[in-house]
Amino acid sequence: MRIILCGFGVVGQSLVKLFVSRSEDLYAKYGLKPRVVGVFDSKGSAVDQSGLDLEKLILVKKEFGTVKNYAKTKNNYSGLDMIKNIDADVLIETTASNYKDAEPGMTHITNAMKSGMHVISVNKGPLALAFPSLMELATYNQVMFKFSGTVGGGTPILDYAKNSLKGERITSFAGILNGTTNYILTNMANGLSFDAALNDAKSKGYVEADESLDLDGLDAAAKLVILANWVMDMKVTMPDIKCTGIRKVTTENIKNAAKKKCAVKLIASCNKELEVSPKEISVDDPLCVNGTLNAIAFTSEHSGTQTIIGKGAGGMETASSILRDLLDIRQEIART
Amino acid sequence: MRIILCGFGVVGQSLVKLFVSRSEDLYAKYGLKPRVVGVFDSKGSAVDQSGLDLEKLILVKKEFGTVKNYAKTKNNYSGLDMIKNIDADVLIETTASNYKDAEPGMTHITNAMKSGMHVISVNKGPLALAFPSLMELATYNQVMFKFSGTVGGGTPILDYAKNSLKGERITSFAGILNGTTNYILTNMANGLSFDAALNDAKSKGYVEADESLDLDGLDAAAKLVILANWVMDMKVTMPDIKCTGIRKVTTENIKNAAKKKCAVKLIASCNKELEVSPKEISVDDPLCVNGTLNAIAFTSEHSGTQTIIGKGAGGMETASSILRDLLDIRQEIART
C-alpha cells in the first residue's frame, strides 16, 4: 500500500515507528505492507516512488529536525505537489487542526479524493468545518474516508458507536472529549487556581500552541461535530455547536459542586441540542473521570448507557488509530 | 431468516418483542426479516414452518405461562426434535447456564451446527466447558457461531476487544463481570452485612436460582473463559480458572480497604494467570463501578488502558445483543 504522509510531527513519527516495529506482524497477520512514498514537514520533503527507508527517515528527522535531508538531491514538494506528482493509494493527513479555514489539510484531503486516493485524517479541522461535503466528495470519487483518530485518540469511540452497537439506536450521548481542560479542572478541584492549573498543564506539554483550541472548547466542539455526523447521521458543522469554554470556571464553582458530591467538567453533549459547556456531574457517574482521561457515555434504546474511558491523545495512541484505519482500508480493498 | 428459539424466558420474550417493535426498521435498514419457526419453554412448544405469529406468541405465553397453547393441536417438541424436524437457518440458545454438563444447551448447539445451522448462544454453559471444541465444530461445519450476549449483556465488550481494537495487541485485562456480586459488595460498603446485602439482592431478583453461580464466582469465571478464548486466543475452559467467590469477604475487609481509598470488588483478570477473586482496587480507578454495573479494562500495547462500563444483564439488553449477532450473520450471508 503506497502512502503519502502529510506532516511528520509526533503522530507521523509514531506511525512510522509502528510500521517499522510491526512490519512482519502486519504482513503475516493482515497482508499489509505499508510503503511510504512521500512525506513532508514544515521545512521540506522526502520522496521515493519505490518506498522510503523508514528507519533512515526517523534518523534523519532526529538529526536535522526535518526530512528534507533524507536524499542528496533535496526537493521541496508540498502536499499538493505530492498528490499531483506521485502515485499513491492512501493519503494520511496529520497536519495541525485549525478551525478558521482548515488549511492546509482541506486542500490535501479534497485533492487526494479527486485523484482517487483513500484518505485517513487525524486532522479535525476539515471534518469540523465540512464533514457533510467531505463525505459526499468521498462517495462521489468512490474512495474511503477514515478518521478514527480524531475522537478519543487510540480509544476507538467512533467505531464502537457505529459498529459494535450495530442494530442499537443511540438516543443521546455526552462526553469529556478534551484531556487538557479535564486536567486543568481536575487540578482546580485539588486546590489550584485557574492560572496555576493552566501553567502546570502548559509545562507538561498538554496545551495546544493556540491555547484557545483547548480553553474555549473548540477542540471538544470539533469532536462533537464529528460524532454527531458519524454516529447520529446529523449534517452539522462547527457553527451548529453552542460552545462555552472553561475560562470562566472559578474555584468557587468547583467548591460548590463538591458540596453536592459533583465535579465541574467540560461536557460535549448531543441531546436534541449540540452543546459544549462546563457542567456539574455526580462524582459517582462513570463519566466523571479525572486527569487527562477522556470519557463518553452513549445512551441507547435497548441496552442502557454505556461508558468508554481511555487516554484521549498521545502520539502512539493516535498512530495506532491510523493503523486501524489502514487495516480497514486494506480489508475493504481485498474484499472488492 | 428462519429461527429456532430455545427457551422462552425473559430474554426470549424480549427478543420477540424487539422483532415485533422493530420489524419495519430491521427490514428497511438491514434487510432482516426474522421468522421464528419453532420455540419451546419448560412446558411445551409451538411450531410453524411458515413463521409463528409473534404477537400471538407473546399473548399466549402471558396468558398460559407457556407457548404450548399457541395452536390447538399441541406438540411437545424438544430443542433436539425441532433441530431434527424443522428447517431453519439459525438456532438461538437461551436456556439457563449450568457448569456441570452444560445441558440442554450443549446438545442444542452441537446438533444445530451438525445440521448446518448458524448458532447464537447467550447460554454461557457450553462455552465455559467447551469453547475450543465448539469453535472447531462450527468451523468444520462452516457455520457461524455468535455469543455477544454472554459477556456484558447489551454492552458489546467482545466485539469491542476483537474488532474495534483491531490491529492493537491486548496484553492483559481485568473486569467486574458479575453485576449481582458487585451489587452485594456495594451494599456491604454502604454498611449492610453480607446476609442483609444478599437478601436485598434476592428480593430485587438479581440472584440466580442457584446462588452459587453468583456467590462462588462461577458466572464471572465462565465469562473469563469466553474472553480469554475470544480476545486472547487462549484455548481454555472452566478448570483453567483459579476461582474464589465473595462468601468470605467481611465488612472488616471492606472497611480496611476504604481506609486506603479502595473498594473490594470481585475481579476477573487475565494477566499470565486466569483468576477470579475479590481484590482491593482504588476508588479512583475507572474500573471501580458500583451497584449492578459491569466494567472491563483492556490494557493494550499502543493505546493504553481502555475501560468500558455498562449494564451487564437484563432481558432487553441481552436481546439487543442477540439482534446484533443476527445482523452480523445476515450481513455475512449477504456477502458470500
When the pLDDT of each residue in chain A is averaged and rounded to a whole number, the result is 95
Instruction: Inform me whether the pLDDT recorded for A315 exceeds 80.
Output: yes
Mutate which: A29, A283, A306, vs B, most B CBs within 10 A: A306
Residue ranges, comma separated, of all CATH 3.30.360.10 domains in chain A are 157-311
Instruction: Inform me whether the pLDDT recorded for A336 exceeds 80.
Output: no
Please give the torsion angle defined by the CA atoms of residues B179, B185, B189 and B193, in that order, rounded to the nearest 10 degrees. Answer: 130
- The predicted structure's pLDDT at residue A313: 79
Between CA A158 and CA A148 the distance in angstroms is: 6
| Residue among A30, A320, A326 whose CB faces B303 most closely | A320
Q: Which residue has the cell 486536567?
A: A183
Q: Which residues of A touch B18 (CB under 8 A)?
A: 302
Q: Regarding the domain delimited by A157-311, which CATH topology (the fold level of the hierarchy) does it fall under?
A: Dihydrodipicolinate Reductase; domain 2 (3.30.360)
Q: What is the DSSP string of B138-200?
A: HHHTT--EE-GGGTTTTS-HHHIIIIITTT--EEEEEEE--HHHHHHHHHHHTT--HHHHHHH
For residue B97, give the nearest of B197, B185, B226, B242 by alpha carbon. B226
Phi-psi region of A17 (alpha: psi -120 to 50; beta: other; left: phi over 0): alpha
At position A77, the amino acid (one-letter code) is: Y
| Residue among A156, A305, A307 whose CB faces B165 most closely | A156
Q: Which residue has the cell 435497548?
A: A302
Residues 6+ apart with CB under 8 A from A290: A182, A186, B284
pLDDT band of A320, cuts 50, 70, 90: very high
Q: What is the DSSP string of A269-317?
A: EEESEEEEEEEEEETTSTT---TTEEEEEEEESSS-EEEEEEE---HHH
When the pLDDT of each residue in chain B is averaged and rounded to a whole number, the result is 95
Please tell me the class of the B2-154+315-335 domain. Answer: alpha beta
Q: Which residues of B touch A286 (CB under 8 A)?
A: 286, 289, 293, 295, 309
Question: How many CB atoms are located within 10 Å of the residue B105 CB?
Answer: 26
Give ipTM to 2 decimals.
0.90
Instruction: Inform me whether the pLDDT recorded for B336 exceeds 80.
Output: no
Q: What is the DSSP letter of A49?
A: T
Mean pLDDT over A106-113 rounds to 98
Closest residue on chain B to A289 (Cα) = B286
Q: What is the DSSP string of A149-217?
A: GGTTTTS-HHHIIIIITTT--EEEEEEE--HHHHHHHHHHHTT--HHHHHHHHHHTT-S-SSTHHHHTS
Mean pLDDT over B89-116 rounds to 97
- The predicted structure's pLDDT at residue B167: 80
Q: What is the DSSP letter of B37?
A: E
> Among A56-65, A73-82, B106-115, B255-264, whose mean pLDDT is lowest?
A73-82
Right CATH number for A2-153+315-335 from 3.40.50.720, 1.10.15.40, 3.30.160.340, 3.40.50.1220? 3.40.50.720
Q: What is the DSSP letter of B205?
A: T
pLDDT digits (tens, 9 = 90+) for A150-185: 999 889 999 999 888 888 889 999 999 999 999 999
- The predicted structure's pLDDT at residue B240: 97
**Which residues does residue A267 pair with via DSSP β-bridges, in sequence order?**
A277
- Is A276 in contact with A174 (CB distance < 8 Å)? no
How large a percentage of chain B has pLDDT more than 70? 100
- The predicted structure's pLDDT at residue B293: 95
Q: How far B310 CA lies from chain A's nearest CA (Å)?
A: 5
Chain B segment 263-292 residues within 8 A of A by beta carbon are: 284, 286, 289-290
- The predicted structure's pLDDT at residue B210: 93
pLDDT digits (tens, 9 = 90+) for B265-313: 999 999 989 999 999 999 999 999 999 999 999 999 988 999 999 998 8
Instruction: Inform me whether the pLDDT recorded for B165 exceeds 90.
Output: no
For residue B326, give the nearest of A159, A167, A170, A306 by alpha carbon. A167
pLDDT band of A72, cuts 50, 70, 90: confident
Between CA A162 and CA A170 the distance in angstroms is: 9
Q: Which residues of A touch B160 (CB under 8 A)?
A: 156, 160, 164
Q: What is the DSSP string of A109-126?
A: HHHHHHTT-EEEE--HHH
Residue ranges, comma separated, of all CATH 3.40.50.720 domains in chain B are 2-154+315-335
- Is B93 in contact with B109 (CB distance < 8 Å)? yes
Between CA B120 and CA B109 the distance in angstroms is: 9
Instruction: Inform me whether the pLDDT recorded for A303 exceeds 90.
Output: no
- The predicted structure's pLDDT at residue A51: 96
- The predicted structure's pLDDT at residue B302: 87
For residue A105, give the nearest of A6, A212, A219 by alpha carbon. A6
Kindly list the catalytic residues of B. 223
pLDDT digits (tens, 9 = 90+) for A210-267: 999 999 999 999 999 999 999 999 999 999 999 999 999 999 999 999 999 999 999 9
Between CA A251 and CA A248 the distance in angstroms is: 10
- The predicted structure's pLDDT at residue A96: 93
- Cβ distance of B320 and A168 shorter than 8 Å: yes
Kindly list the catalytic residues of A. 223
- Is A88 in contact with A51 (CB distance < 8 Å)? no
pLDDT band of B106, cuts 50, 70, 90: very high
pLDDT digits (tens, 9 = 90+) for A110-120: 999 999 999 99
- Tell whether B307 is within 8 A of chain A (Cβ): yes
pLDDT digits (tens, 9 = 90+) for A270-289: 998 999 999 999 999 999 99
CA distances to A144, A222, A272, B103, B114 from A228, rounded to whole Å, are: 19, 10, 11, 46, 45
- The predicted structure's pLDDT at residue B76: 84
Instruction: Inform me whether the pLDDT recorded for A310 exceeds 80.
Output: yes
Strand B304-311, strand B293-300: pairing: antiparallel
pLDDT band of A200, cuts 50, 70, 90: very high
Closest residue on chain A to B149 (Cα) = A303
Between CA A151 and CA A75 the distance in angstroms is: 34
